[in-house]
Amino acid sequence: MEISELNQLIQLLDNPSDLTKKMEELKSQQIDDESVAGFVVLYDLYKGDVQEIKNQLAISKFQITQPVRINKVHKFAYLKYAAILILLFGTGYSLFLVTNNSNKTELKNQFNEPGLANYMSAKSTTSWEDIMFDYKMKSYNQALKKINSSLINSKFNDTLYYFKAVIYYELKKYNQSSEEFNKVISKSSVFKDKANYYLGKIEYRKGNKKSAVSIFKSLTQSKDLDIKNASSEHVNELKQPILN
């Protein structure tokens, strides 16, 4: 199972130079994952001092919830720090112990786009083989660059828009992903049901359970069996009370 982005950041505390580069990258884009956003704020709060960040992350939830005496100068910083730590502990992470436990906010038995099994014609102006290689290797930024390049000469290629949307989803850039998926839907593409399905997953990840259920219900009669089965399971799962 793929390691979560937060745990990847925690691992990078042992490689400060790479962590600095990663922080610059994250700050240049929209961050939709709250735990990752919390880590970025914590990083700034301690000015990139990895040892101090490690020390602070090692403090127990019990300690940070106890009443403490703080002066006005440090009050705001402390509140930010405490809120971040509560968020991190609240998500169930064992800090510094990278685990492969699945995120409780994830839906079970999701459909995840496997990529195209058969590449397009050799006459195509799109480098599908290269794009799919990068996609399947999870080199998403590389694949995205090639898709954007291909879109210059293939502005109406719904397959390009679909995979562009999927890649944005994998990069957790949900607003951009939604925008691209809606382009696919407006074209009445063969990827329409898959695009709607991903929009349902995005709504769920954003905490909009009611909207997600509505989308999944609309797909329970899809002719795409993968989407139909996954959507039906999600509808049934979301009917159940969420247990901690």
**Res. 66 pLDDT band, cuts 50 70 90:** very low
Compute the distance between CA of residue 174 and CA of residue 79 in angstroms, rounded to an integer. 28
- Whether 239 shows a pLDDT value over 90: the answer reads no
Compute the distance between CA of residue 201 and CA of residue 238 in angstroms, rounded to an integer. 12
- The pLDDT of residue 69 is 47
The candidate with the shortest Cα–Cα distance to 165, out of 136, 188, 143, is 143
Compute the distance between CA of residue 73 and CA of residue 95 in angstroms, rounded to an integer. 28
Which position has the higher pLDDT, 174 or 18?
174
In this structure, the chain runs to a length of: 244
Compute the distance between CA of residue 244 and CA of residue 86 in angstroms, rounded to an integer. 16
* Tokens describing residue 90: 């609240």
DSSP 90-127: HTT--TTS---PPPTTSPSS-------SSPPPTT-SS-
- Whether 4 shows a pLDDT value over 90: the answer reads no
- The pLDDT of residue 182 is 96
Q: What is the mean pLDDT of residues 3-9?
A: 77
* Tokens describing residue 42: 């914590």
DSSP 14-52: G-HHHHHHHHHHHHTS----HHHHHHHHHHHHTTT-HHH
| 114 phi/psi in degrees, rounded to 5 | -85, -10
The candidate with the shortest Cα–Cα distance to 162, out of 139, 196, 120, is 196
* Residue range 183-199, pLDDT digits in tens: 999 988 999 999 999 99
Which position has the higher pLDDT, 21 or 219?
219
Q: Is the dihedral of CA 9, 11, 14, 18 positive or negative?
A: negative
- The pLDDT of residue 148 is 96
- Whether 160 shows a pLDDT value over 90: the answer reads yes
Compute the distance between CA of residue 115 and CA of residue 135 in angstroms, rounded to an integer. 7
Flag whether the pTM goes above 0.85.
Answer: no
